[in-house]
Amino acid sequence: MNKLILGRYFPGDSWLHRLDPRSKLIAGVAFIFIIFLADSLQAFALLWVFTLFVMRLSGVGFRTYVRGVRPLIWLILFATLMQMLFRTGGATFVDWGPITISEYGIINGFYVFCRFVLIIFFSTVVTLTTKPIDLTDGIGSLLRPLRKLKVPVDELALMLSISLRFIPNLMDETQRIMDAQRARGTQFGEGSLIQQMKTLVPIFLPLFASSLNRAEDMANAMEVRGYQSGTKRSTFRQLSWKRIDTASLFIMVVLAGVLLVVRTI
């Protein structure tokens, strides 16, 4: 669990590190929509080439991204397996009651696997190259028009930033608790399903208590520093939109256009 890198920041001076956080957030959301335009092997090959190129630009090694996917690999494989076993179409290879393995199911399962991995890779690129405080400023700036609808934009941005910031801390804390329980003789992953579920109780209870204590300490620290919800606040850090940010969004538009062309071929 300590290998989950989503939410961590890797310092660097790459082209992606210098982008405005708003452009990276917009590009990340746009990529999630763009990826569903792919419905062929050619389209997914293009998305893989584009994603690997972006990962290369981040200056972070490919092995780091692979380690970040490993904690989620079982969830990805489960979703892929569901598509393979219960989707029909084309040639049928296995037909056993409700379980059917067909040509269309295998292809669709491959597409689902690629979508999951590509979304995780691209989202990880955004968090690895953007400081949590910059993510807060970017989210707050993008949601600013909602203030006219009385939406607490600053509070929402702060909540999202804190959530991203403490994902790695929760993973590290979970690993420490598991190591402490192993030192006391607890064996994880052994026995029946009920026994394995019981071994999780000594993990969740200390983790829940630790999270509450951390949240209380943070609330006290924010109160001491004069933070008040709902009040108008000044901004020390000023975001600056540059041509390179416009170019990055233009690249996303071009990518979407190319995929639309590929769909029509």
Report residue 132 as tokens. Answer: 């949590």
Report residue 127 as tokens. Answer: 């968090």
- What pLDDT is recorded for position 6? 61
Number of H helices, E strands in the chain: 9, 2
Report residue 210 as tokens. Answer: 């630790």
- What pLDDT is recorded for position 97? 66
The DSSP 8-state label assigned to residue 180 in this structure reads: H
154 or 247: which carries more pLDDT confidence?
247
Assign 5 a pLDDT band (cuts: 50, 70, 90).
Answer: low
Judge whether residue 7 has pLDDT over 70.
no
CA–CA gap between residue 105 and residue 90 (Å, rounded): 9
The arithmetic mean of pLDDT across residues 17-24, rounded, is 90
How do the domains of the chain map onto residue ranges?
Answer: 21-170+240-264
The arithmetic mean of pLDDT across residues 24-51, rounded, is 91
Judge whether residue 51 has pLDDT over 90.
yes
- What pLDDT is recorded for position 134? 83
Contact 68, 140 (CB under 8 A): no
The arithmetic mean of pLDDT across residues 236-249, rounded, is 85
pLDDT (tens digit per residue) in 201-237: 778 888 888 888 888 888 888 888 877 776 666 666 7
Judge whether residue 166 has pLDDT over 70.
yes
Contact 28, 123 (CB under 8 A): yes
